[in-house]
Every structure is written in structure tokens, then in C-alpha cells.
Chain A
Amino acid sequence: MSEISAPGTAGAGTFAPNHAVAARQVSASQIFREFLQIGATSFGGGVVAYLRSGLVSKRQWLSDKEFVELLSISQTLPGLNATNMAILVGDRLRGALGAIAAICGICLPGAVLMYLVAAFYAAHGNHPMVTAGLKGVAASAVGLVLATSVQLAKKSLTNKYDLIFVALTVIGVNRLHQSVLTVLAVVGIMGILWYHPTKSQTAGEHQ
């Protein structure tokens, strides 16, 4: 996960030590190229780790503290962490243009690949070898998502009552067949009220 190839050492990279001042002088095309590289190499999910090593360690465009702050905004909002981070970091570094450069860069490689995959699938999706391989891949996706859930739960659930909200959400979607939006609204509001401001100061403080 930490082994990211770093062939592009031109430009800002050569001035690495002067972080604070040089940090803001990043061009939109540099942003695009860095996010493109992350978008092309971050196999296996966990894009956040790749972003951190690219933006904080390698380029020093952000301090670790800034990175964590932006990540906490990303996680509060709907949208994928990877694309929310691209928008927030791009905007920090170079305003709206930087945000656009970053999100285009991070999405482009995966989007092109999945476009080609769809074309291949349309032509060969019925081949028995392909469906057999995909059966294995689909099963592994279940294990992967379960592992992510467990890891997230360990990190962000601190209170036994959280399990009630988890259960209510699953039951609402899978058993009662309510739309995700309905469940999100109903259980989400219950959760938010449960942790209403006076309470969250005493309980569930985990940062």
C-alpha cells in the first residue's frame, strides 16, 4: 500500500524542503498530474492512504493536520471519500480550477478502464470462462465489503447503542425493503438526535 512509484520528480518536487511557502504555488496541471497518478495506481481501494502518501509525504502540498481536517469534512458529506478529498484539496491549492483538475485526474484512469471493461463485457460477457471468473470475483467482493465494515465499525463505533442504529438500518433496507433514502432519513435523524449537542460532549467522544 505504501509502495507508490514516484517517477515524476520535476517541478515542485525538487523544492521539497520549503514546504510552508511553496505549498500554495501549485499549478492546476501539477494538481491534475498528481491526482491522475493516484487515480491510476490506487488499486485495491483505500484511496485515502494513497492520497495521504502522495499529497502529504511526497509532494508536501498539505500538512498532516490539514489532511486530517479535510478528511473529516469528506467523511461527513455524502459522496465518496476519494472524490470529496479531490475537490477539497484541489480547492485549497488552486481554487475552483484546482478542484476540477483534481477530480478529473483521480477519476479518469478508473473511468477509462471501466469503460473498456464494459465494452469487453458486452462482447465476451457470456463466455463461460468469464462468468466463472466473475462468480469468484463477486464472492470476494462480499468478503471485501464485510472486512471494510468490520474495520470501520472498530474505528467509529464506540458505544453499544450504535449497534441498534446499525441493526435498524440493515433491517430497514434488507427486511422492510425501504428505500435507502427513507432509512437514511429516519435512522439518521434518530442517530443525530441521540448524539445531540449536550450529550455528545459527555459520551462518545473518541477523537
Chain B
Amino acid sequence: MVNLRYKWTPFLSYGQKLELKKNTFVYRQGENGRGFYYLGQGGVKISLLSDNGHERVIDYVPIGTLLGEHGAHRGTYLTTAVTTTPSILYHFSDEALSRVCKDHPHAAMIFTNSHIYKVRLLAEIISYLDSPVEHQMAHFLLKLIQIHENENIPINQTSFARYIGTSRITVNKIIQKWRQQGFIQFSNGVIQVIQIERIREILTQVESV
């Protein structure tokens, strides 16, 4: 992910700048594709809905990366993207993409790598599906630190539960446990990681079981 950040920034002039309020849908699962987006500022969460109405958050988009690559080339949006704060995005239609690729042939590979990264992200979720919840929470918490480039993570327990695919109660139990152990602080929907090393240890401990 780190090496994909800001790779697309040189091509922003080909896109259309959008200023979106909090809780705005960027695209919805099942809609016909109208191209893809670049997150310039703010935050976007990506979620997956099953037909029985179950929602699972699968990603929080890092600033400086692309989203909705599946909607390019007249594809279909496979997930839903919603802003979590007021955000600035850049929209790239299929025409814009082909103009970028024509002027800068290496852009095609940047787009493709970003697209493939999304497949890897899903594979990563699958590889943790059968892990204990504490293990999954530690893994995704470390990931959120990377995404936000900050140890204060704005996420409430309901959202965290949807990210892990479990109940809020289960998440709450572990958050309380970590708080008592002094690994984290939690207030007003912000998790502050105090002892990142201890969270990393949880991962290795469970792995060795």
C-alpha cells in the first residue's frame, strides 16, 4: 500500500475535482461503473453488502490512493464507498483514463497495480476470517495506524465490529481488556494506541498457538 501512495498524484489535472460532505456516497455496490476516484483529502470507507443485508467494512481508503477501479472500463461497482469526513476526491472517467495512459504509458501499470492491490486486500481479509477475534482486531488496528499514519484512530466500536465482521459486544470486551492492560485509550470514538509493541505481540502470540 505504502508504495502505491501518491503515485497517481501527477495525473490529477486529468480528473474532475469533487468536494463531498461527510456521509456522501461516492459509488454504490451494483451501480454501473462511471470510472474511478482518487482520494485527495478526508476519508472514505469501503463496504460490502450481502443480499441478506449484512454489511462488512472492507477498507478505509488511505489519502493519496485510488478507489473504485472496478468501475473503470464500464465495469460494475463491486462495493460501496462513503465519505467518513468532508473529503476532496478526483473523478476519472474512462476517457480521462485513456488520455492519461496515452500521454503517460507507465500510468497503465500504476492503475493496474492499484487494482491488483484491491484483490490482495480481499485475500488478506479471507486469510484472517477464521482467526480469533482478538488476533483480527490487533491485525486491523495495526493496519489502521498505517492507513491514518497516526496512532489516534477515529473509529467507533460499531464501525470496528463491521470491519472485523463480528458484534459490537465482542469488540467492546476486547477494547476494555486492552484498555485495562494499558495498551490503548478509548474515548469519543477515537482509539489511541499507547503501546503499539504490545499489540504486535498479540499477533505473534496467537500465531504461535
Partners in one complex: no
* B residues neighboring A (CB under 8 Å): none
